[in-house]
Each structure stands twice: as C-alpha cells, then as structure tokens.
Chain A
Amino acid sequence: MIKLINTLEHALRSPTKKVVAGIWSTEEEWLAAAKKAKQAGFDKIEGISPYPTHEIDEALQIPRSPIPFVTFVAGLAGCAFGTWFTWWTSAVDWPINIGGKPMWSLPAFIPVIFECTILFAALASVGAMLFLGGLPKVDPPVIHPDLTSHKFALFVPEDDKKYDVAKIEALFKELGAEEVKQAEF
C-alpha cells in the first residue's frame, strides 16, 4: 500500500525546472511586460496571474484551447453509447414486452441518451482540462504565494532556447518588475 502511494506520488511529482521569474503588482504593467518579453524571442515564457485575463493569451501568443473538440467527440460517444445500450438491453439481450410498446422504443429512450451525452461530454472536458493543465500535481513549487492573490508573474524556464539568467533578469527589471528571482517551477 505504502509502495503504491509512493509510486503514485512520484508519478504526480513531475521534475521541476529552474526558472527566472519577475513579479509585477498591476495587471497593466504585467501585460505590457509580457508583450515585450515575448517579442524578445523567448519560446517557453509563461505568465501567472490570480485571475484569468484574455490579453495575456494574445501577449504570449497562447493558442486557443483544443478542449471543445474533446467535448464534441465525447458527447458523440456518449450519445452513441446511450443509443446502443438502451437498444441492446431492451431489444436484444432480453426483450420484454412492457405495455405492448415496441422493443426498440427510441422516443422513450431519448431522455437517457441525452443524459449520457451530457455526462460523457462534461466529464471528458474536465478530464482534458486537467490533463492539458498538468493537473493534479503533488506539492508543486510556488514561485510566490501572492500570485494567487494580487500579484502577477512572468517566468522563463531553463529549457528555453534563449535562457540566460543575467539577460532575463536585466530585461525583467527594465520592464518594471518589482522583484526578480530565480526559482523552481
């Protein structure tokens, strides 16, 4: 049991990277800094904010999330499963005459098929969100505790092609970061 927990924990603890991070205290300064930093050519630069902003997607050129495709496919799968299952149980595996209704009573099966569609689509969307967002994660290092409250950050990880601690620190300072630090992420 303990072994299992350890393996599981290990799987959810992805190796951390060294990063250089800058911290800003207003959304505007942070967004302006993000735009300029991205133009400087970092390909793996990321931002952290306490609430969602749409401008950061543009500034860091983050592509549109592909989750709607997952939702659509899962919805179709749920619909197909519901249709197949109601048909197979009611008309194939053990057909029972109930009130003289047809074995394959599609109109009466629609509510169940509909619920299956919604359930599959919703759970798959959430699963996709967790997967794409790298969640769940055990004890991930936090760059600064205020980043979930009232501060904003940009950071460049060590595998970025233009990773250079001194240069990045200088750039972030020039862009008005109130704090620049080396951290783990």
Chain B
Amino acid sequence: MIKRQQLVLGNKSLKDVTDDICSLIERMPGQKFLAVFSAALVLFWFYLFVQGSIVVKGMGLMGINNPVGWGTDIVTFVFWVGIGHAGTLISAVLFLFRQKWRTSIARTAEAMTVFAVMTAGLFPLLHTGRPWLAYWLLPYPNQRGPLWVNFRSPLLWDVFAVSTYATVSIVFWYIGMVPDLAAVRDRAKNKIRKLAYGALSLGWRGTAKQWNHFEMTYMLLAGLATPLVLSVHSIVSFDFAVANLPGWHTTIFPPYFVAGAIFSGFGMVVTLMVIFREVVPVFKDYITMDHMENMNKVIMTTGLLVGYAYGAEFFIAWYSGSPYEQFAFINRAVGPYWWSYWTMIICNVFIPQIFWFKSMRRNIKVMFVVSIFVNIGMWFERFVITVTSLHRDFIPSSWGMFEFTFYDYGAIFGSFGMFFTLFLLYTRVLPAISICEVKPVLNVGREESHDKAH
C-alpha cells in the first residue's frame, strides 16, 4: 500500500498551527517584505499614471487601430481572468473531490483569484474608452425608454459572468476566513486590532451549531463555484467564438479556454508559492514539496491539454475545407506574428514537459522558471488568438498590423503592480493559510504511535 504523505511537517500541535500562521500578521514586516512591497507599489503608481493618461487623453494612446480593434486591454483581461481560475479550482473543485492537500494552499489561491479578477475587471471597462459610462452595462431603469441591455450579446454575458464570479469568489473566500479571523481576534493584544478583527469575524464563536451550518454552506458554495468557474471562461471564450472571424469562430473554444485558464492559474500559484515559501520560511512546513509537486503535475497535464487544443485547431482548419480558416492558422504559424505563435507553443507545450521527471517536479528553481514561462506563454496565447485573427481577415485590402506603444507595455506590466500590491497587503493583514482547515488534517500521514496533536 502507498503510504500517505504528511500534509503538515514538523509534528505541529494545534497551538503551533495558530501561532505559525498568525505570526505573519502579528509582527512588523521585515526589510525583505518592505523592499518587495515598495517595488510593487511603485509599479502600481506607474500603472495608475498609464491608465489615467489613457482615460484622460483617450484610447488613441494604445496600439489598437483598424483592423485590430481588440488589443492589449482585451488580451490582458483574458490573461488575468484565466489566472483567477486556478484559485477556484483549488478551493472548490479539489474540495469536492476531497483532496486534503488543498487545505494549506486554498486560502492564498483563492486570494489570488479575487485579486486577479479585480485586476482583470478594469480592462474591459477601460477598453470602452469611456469608463465613466460603465454603468450602462447594467440593466437599470433609465430615462431613455427605458432602453435595456442586449441580452443576446456575448459581451453582455461576460458582464454577468465576471461580476457573478467576482462576487461569489469574494464571498466564498471571506466566509471561509471568518473562523480564522475570530482566532486572530481572540489572540489580539491591542484594542484596535481586537476591534478590527472582531468586526471582520462577525462575532464568530465556533459553537458546534455554527460549525454545522458553516460546513454545509462551504460545501454548497464549492458546489456552486465549480459550474460557475467553468462557465466564466466559457463565456469569455464566447466573446470570440460567437463572432464570425476565422480563428475565433470555433466550437473548441470553451473547453480550450478553461484548460488554458487552469494551466495559467496554476503557473501563477506556483510562482507565488515559491516566493511565499522563501519569504516566510515557517510556511515550508505547511506548503510542502509534495504540494508543489502536485501543482506541477497539474501544470504538465493541462499543458498537454492546451497542446492538444492547438493541434485540434489546426486539424479542424484543414478539415473544414474553408480557405479563410486555413489561411488564418497558417498565418499564425508563419505570418508576420510567427514569433508570438512559437513563443506560445514553446512556453506552453514544450517547457512544462520537463515535469515528466520527478527530480524536476521537486526542484524549486526549475519550477519557478517554468511557472514564469507558463505565464508568458499564456499571455501570448491570448495575443495570438486576438491579434493574429484580427489583423488579416477575409479581404486583403483591410489587412493591417498591430504596433505596441509605450502605453500598451505600461498597461501590461503595470497591472502586475496592482496585483502584487493587493496580494502583498493581503499576506500581512489576513491569515494566509486556512487555520481551521489545516488543523483537521494535521494527523494525515503521521505515524500511528503519535497520538493526536494538542
């Protein structure tokens, strides 16, 4: 029989778990943290400057043109929404499958989801060029008729999908955190701390009845979040697939986008967890090498899935017999944007295959580099889909090229500033590992002779 791996190392007692996890939010940040945080904050300010300029002066600052009307904003929107999916996969889908190893990474993965969706959500609004009219996207009674929104449009489905996803993710994340916030409250020594965490914990006291309802709700939310997360990236893919453009109009898009989303999201989780383990060494006992290996296995598998989707697209383009479809795909691989296509293939399909070797799956440096490549590759996947399809469609007279401007680069890199600023603040303010979920799995894989921790 295969022996179960220990989920938490170091023979922790229940009190150790609380102490370890709360230690991060109870001490002043060190220099390492401040250095990283300042860098993120400066990048965030730069992002505010870039997006502010675009709002004030107009979309003309970015590279979009005719025929490439969807550029950096849409590419980066899909990129960040995709990143979010791994968080829900870990916190909801693995929960439904009773994967106990998820407990120590679920909270942070879910936080990643929330911040990634927040970062993503800005892009379509800014892409409209007049974000101050963003409320027009919602069906509200107005004085123009009332003129309702067009429910037949995939772009409107996207508004509903992304806003529902953001709401449910935040609620799921917060509700799961309430008992932990109560634990922080009960340890708090100073008054403001007690007040703040007392309010956040909603007065939770952990009675058996409360736990009974809590567990039921957590399971229900996981059950609701699972179809939701699949629907979100499917609907994002409808933004493309429902259009009649060669390269977009394909039925494979929903599953292909979902697989890509999980792939890129796990890439980001590994990037964050590697950094997290380095900056907070005590978390190595909770986020063990086995956790990292499991996530690398998911990256490798989903990498193969997206590789299959790339192949299937080409096959169907040929099999369809449509010259426009065939041209769109040949143009991707050998046209003027060949470099973006091959960056995508190398980063997403070939590089993750290194994880067939166990020693590579368990090597921190290797997985960090691979996860960065996955992130780059997945950004380029969205670039390939969006830009190469648009720049050459049916009539050669309407062909064109897309040129990046300073503001395009600013929006791409600056969005990381926003994401990391939020994420780093989270690690110092909220318990970054689920205290009440780790405790029940303390004994998994421990020797029988050790009795229950206390």
* Residue pair B186, A149 in contact (C-beta under 8 Å): yes
**Minimum CB–CB distance for A24 against chain B, Å:** 10
Indicate whether A182 reaches chain B with its CB closer than 8 angstroms: no
* Residue pair A112, B156 in contact (C-beta under 8 Å): yes
What separation, in Å, do the CA atoms of A53 and B139 have in the docked complex?
44
What separation, in Å, do the CA atoms of A48 and B186 have in the docked complex?
14
Tell which of B160, B187, B203 has the most Cβ of chain A within 10 Å.
B203
* A residues 98-150 touching B (CB-CB < 8 Å): 98-99, 101, 105, 108-109, 111-112, 114-116, 118-119, 121-123, 125-126, 128-130, 132-140, 142, 145-150
Contacting B139 at CB < 8 Å: which of A57, A89, A122, A128? A89
* Residue pair B13, A150 in contact (C-beta under 8 Å): yes
Indicate whether A177 reaches chain B with its CB closer than 8 angstroms: no
Indicate whether B284 reaches chain A with its CB closer than 8 angstroms: no
Size bin of chain B's contact surface:
35 or more
Chain B residues with CB under 8 Å of A53's CB are: 211, 440
* Residue pair B148, A93 in contact (C-beta under 8 Å): yes
Indicate whether B235 reaches chain A with its CB closer than 8 angstroms: yes
* Residue pair B227, A136 in contact (C-beta under 8 Å): no
Of chain B, the residue at the smallest CB distance from A142 is B186
SS class, residues of chain B in contact with chain A: helix
**Minimum CB–CB distance for A69 against chain B, Å:** 11
Residues of A bordering B, CB below 8 Å:
12, 25-28, 46-53, 56-57, 60, 62, 64-65, 67-68, 71, 85-86, 89-90, 93-94, 96, 98-99, 101, 105, 108-109, 111-112, 114-116, 118-119, 121-123, 125-126, 128-130, 132-140, 142, 145-150, 185
Known: A52-B211, A149-B18. 18 other contacts (CB 8 A): A46-B207, A48-B206, A50-B179, A56-B208, A64-B216, A68-B220, A90-B150, A94-B148, A99-B152, A111-B161, A116-B164, A129-B217, A130-B202, A133-B210, A134-B210, A135-B178, A148-B186, A150-B14
Residues of B bordering A, CB below 8 Å:
13-15, 18, 139, 145-152, 156-157, 160-161, 164, 167-168, 171-172, 175, 178-179, 182-183, 185-187, 198, 202-217, 220-221, 224-225, 227-228, 231, 235, 238, 435-437, 439-440, 452, 454
